[in-house]
Structure 1
Amino acid sequence: MDTTDKFKLIALTGLLIGMFAITGCKQNTSGGPPTSGPPEVGIVAITTAPIALTMELSGRTSPYMIAEVRPQVGGIIQKRLFAEGTDVKAGQVLYQIDPATYQAAYANAKAALARAEANLIPIRLKAERFRELVAINAVSRQDYDDASSMLKQAEADVAANQAVVEAARINLDYTSVKAPISGRIGRSTVTDGALVTASQAAPMATIQQLDPVYVDVTQSSAEVLRLKRNLANGEITGKDAGKAKVKLLLEDGSSYPQEGTLKFSEVTVDQSTGSVILRALFPNPNQLLLPGMFVRGIVQEGISEQAILVPQRGVSRNPKGEAMVMVVGAEEKVEPRVIKVSRTVGDNWLVTEGLKAGDRVILEGIQKARPGTPVKAVPFSSKPDAPPAGIPTSAAAKK
């Protein structure tokens, strides 16, 4: 390399070093601390509105009516006259017991009645004649009294035999075992040829009426006291107990399509569980609800006319375990506020103390909201910002 080329290389190197130095100076000049305003926080303004308060209680279904079929006379089962698991009507014959002995007893009772009625006729005629003769002193008074007494005894014999005939007829009718109620009949515990006895302990079958159906749910006595206290204080407006609507959640978590009506509330607290029973009546046209199913009932307690709801994401706990929120107060500064909450309503807390309409609760940017520091309050939006035009959603997410 000659001398001229060396000078050119040295000059180029010096020029580049100068340019880097100037650029670094400019970057240092512009890299000072930026001037910015107070941090932004997302807030929600508190409002009051009437809401329906509900409670979710566990319980089980039970049939509207249930009847155990038992024989009222003894004998051998001749025939079962129903199909297990089908619907039967009240008065439908279910079993036929051998009626031979009861038919004989019925015939014997009818014969005894006929004999007593035949004996009554001459005694009645004799008493009527003696009544006429005693009036003219043709017979003694004693003979007339004896005839009258015999007439009454004969009439009593007829009445007694009529009762025996009726009892025999009833027993003969009981040989046809009938359904006491309409409903779905279960399995039969006896077969053709089985011997049954009158009023035996074991039922022959069980019939259950499944439309409508009862749902019995349990509520703690503490909840009952709280509800009564809130009603007395006017915090909630009670509904007519005979018209309160109840909804159901089935075992698989799905909702039952029909609404029920609250019909009954137990007046005694169960000492073993500390709870009371609420009974609701549900229509069951498709017999989707079967006796003994576990369900959860959603019962409406009443209406809170001035309810205050706060999203759960805005509520935290202090070291004492008290619920608290951060609010934007006077001079746009952050203020911690201890509140009292009673329950959740959806994804909100129901606030009973500590907040009023118009308060601004911080939901977003809480980590930047230090107590006493000024902030810029903007309305909170739960929707994510839309990506800029021309940038796909996946690219915006990566960015």
Structure 2
Amino acid sequence: MPKFLRPVATILAVIALHGCGSDSAKSTRPSVPGQGQSVPQVGVITVQQEPIKVPFELPGRVSAYATAEIRPQVDGIIEAILFKEGTTIKKGDALFQLDNQRYQAAKDAAVANVERAAASVAQMQATLSRREKLAKSQAITAEDLDEARTNVRVAQAELAVAKAELKTTELNLNYATVKSPISGIIGRRSVDVGALVTANQADTLATVRQMDPIYVDLVDTSAHWLRIRQQEPTASFNADNANSPELFINLEDGSQYPQTGRLSLADTVVSETTSTFTIRSEFPNPNLLLLPGMFVRVNAEVSGRDDLYLLPQRAVQRDAQGQATALFVNAENVVEQRDITTGSTLDNYWIVSNGVQVGDRVIIDGLQKIKVGATVTATEVEINSNGVVNQSLPANGAGDAK
């Protein structure tokens, strides 16, 4: 190369190297954080306030409406059994017939004693009448007249005693026929003809149970009752209360009993050992489907307060201390976390009393891709009865909806 061209070549080489350095620096320059990234999308539902019926379910045992254990009230030998086991009987029906000969004889003797005492009264009254006439003419002394009057009163007292003895013998004779004190279903007998029974013995002859209507005895805890009262201050388990709920039975096989029931009474004392109390409910039982001793579950709904909210269970989380929280999208589309107060559950929802307001947008979809303070794009979605979001977000959103 000629000498006069060497400076020019050097300048061109420097320019070329500078250009290459600029391109290399430009290609390795770090990108600005956030440039080229999309705003995450979340699925929300708008909170609404509505009257809520607070559900509850309690275990229970079926018990007869009335139970009569049949025992004899007098001694005797059983001569006849006047019923068929397992049948329906009415109040006053004869069940057992005891040998009543001695009771009939005692009654006959009592009748005779009454007649004798009545004759004595008549005689004493006639004597008194004669002496009163004689006393007017002073033919007898005052002592004789007083004696006649006393004899009348004694005779009348003896007549009263005789009548009382007659009543006792009539009762004993009547008790020789053992009758049912209530209507219901009679069970198995424990004696046969010829057995000797005694008055008020410990062993029962048979048992009669009235089963239409029928009772279901429920057990509830004091803690559960307090939660119900917090959600509905006027809730009551008293049968005469206007807010007493209608009751439904789930049977042991999972089916629902066709009849509804009502509360009958509730204990006013909580057990010191179990912190539970008993609630008695009453159900119609025309087909005798419910039998004493059966285990059932009774559910009902108590009318709740008007200032309660429903939040999907999938939107509620709990921190290490057990405090319920939820994520919301505020007016600036920024994610914020709030503490909320939950009560019982209703289907796939929590019943919430504090920490929520009407119009709040609670996040139920896209929770895995966001954090508190992030700016998001909120999309209204729907949630079905199974707690599943029907409208899924794009792949760059949450992606946890099914």
**TM-score above 0.5:** yes
2:261 aligned with 1:260? yes
Contact 1:116 1:161 in 2 (8 A): yes
Alignment of 1:29-44 (within 5 A): 37-44=38-45
The AA in structure 2 aligned to 1:325 is A
The AA in structure 1 aligned to 2:68 is A
Q: How much does 1:122 deviate?
A: 2.4
Q: How much does 1:36 deviate?
A: 6.7
The AA in structure 2 aligned to 1:284 is N
Tell me how far apart the structure 2 counterparts of residues 299 and 214 of structure 1 sit (CA, whole Å): 16
Contact 1:236 1:302 in 2 (8 A): no
Aligned partner of 2:248 in structure 1 is 247
Structure with the largest fraction of strand:
1
Alignment of 1:121-200 (within 5 A): 121-200=122-201
How many positions carry a matched residue from both structures? 349
TM-score by length of 1: 0.82
The AA in structure 2 aligned to 1:316 is Q
The AA in structure 2 aligned to 1:129 is R
What secondary structure is seen at the aligned counterpart in 1 of 2:173?
helix
The AA in structure 2 aligned to 1:179 is S
Alignment of 1:21-100 (within 5 A): 37-100=38-101
Contact 1:263 1:281 in 2 (8 A): yes
Contact 2:237 2:266 in 1 (8 A): no
Q: 1:239 to 1:319 in 2, by over 3 A?
A: closer
The AA in structure 2 aligned to 1:215 is V
Tell me how far apart the structure 1 counterparts of residues 157 and 259 of structure 2 sit (CA, whole Å): 61
The AA in structure 2 aligned to 1:180 is P
CA RMSD of aligned residues (A): 2.2
CA distances 1:298-354 after superposition (whole Å, capped 9, x unpaired): 244432212111111112223333222221123212222232211111110111222
Gapped runs of 5+ residues in structure 2? 1-34, 384-388, 393-402
Q: How much does 1:261 deviate?
A: 1.4
Alignment of 1:324-343 (within 5 A): 324-343=325-344
Tell me how far apart the structure 2 counterparts of residues 335 and 71 of structure 1 sit (CA, whole Å): 78
Q: How much does 1:153 deviate?
A: 1.7
Q: How much does 1:71 deviate?
A: 0.6
Alignment of 1:374-393 (within 5 A): 374-382=375-383
Tell me how far apart the structure 1 counterparts of residues 83 and 365 of structure 2 sit (CA, whole Å): 68
Q: 1:385 to 1:346 in 2, by over 3 A?
A: closer
The AA in structure 2 aligned to 1:112 is N
Contact 2:312 2:349 in 1 (8 A): yes
CA distances 1:249-284 after superposition (whole Å, capped 9, x unpaired): 222232222221122121111122111222222111
Q: 1:302 to 1:237 in 2, by over 3 A?
A: farther
2:346 aligned with 1:345? yes
Q: How much does 1:181 deviate?
A: 0.6
Tell me how far apart the structure 1 counterparts of residues 64 and 86 of structure 2 sit (CA, whole Å): 15
Moved more, 119-128 or 218-227: 218-227
Aligned partner of 1:298 in structure 2 is 299
Aligned partner of 1:204 in structure 2 is 205
Tell me how far apart the structure 1 counterparts of residues 154 and 332 of structure 2 sit (CA, whole Å): 110
What secondary structure is seen at the aligned counterpart in 2 of 1:105?
helix
The AA in structure 2 aligned to 1:200 is Q
Tell me how far apart the structure 1 counterparts of residues 325 and 374 of structure 2 sit (CA, whole Å): 17
Contact 1:236 1:305 in 2 (8 A): no
Identity of aligned residues (%): 40
What secondary structure is seen at the aligned counterpart in 2 of 1:79?
strand
TM-score by length of 2: 0.81
